Amino acid sequence: MNIEVFREYCLSKKGITEEFPFDESTLVFKVMGKMFALVALERIPSQANLKCDPEWAIALREEHDGVITPGYHMSKVHWNTIFLEELPPNLIRNLVDHSYDLVVSKLTKKLKAELDALE
């Protein structure tokens, strides 16, 4: 999956914004103001960081050694770096969904209600 397709998939989720809070080459996707995905636009090969359940993160890293690694410049427990062009697109979509769902599950009641009200 290339960065453009990854970006389109992230933006298809409800309540998403994109911004460059760190630098001009790290695109951050947020749901209701909370990060769930980052993509390094200038890194080759293409990479993204996604939030992940700690136990599943370890299993993914073992199963996809060198292609899913501990989150680059992130909490190594809760974030994975994935190499976009080396994983099946359906797995990447599942990982994006999982990251999004983890962040949504931690939103306040007020933010969840605002998200639910969006179309």
Q: How confident is the model at residue 31 (pLDDT cuts 50, 70, 90)?
A: very high
Topology (CATH level 3) of domain 3-113: Aspartate Aminotransferase, domain 1 (3.90.1150)
Question: What is the DSSP code string of 72-90?
Answer: TTS-TTTEEEEEGGGS-HH
Domain boundaries, the chain: 3-113
- Tell me the Ramachandran region of residue 26: left when phi exceeds 0, alpha when psi lies from -120 to 50, beta otherwise: beta
Q: Which helix (H) or strand (E) holds 63?
A: helix 54-63
User: pTM of the full predicted structure?
Assistant: 0.94
pLDDT in tens, 4-21: 999 999 999 999 999 999
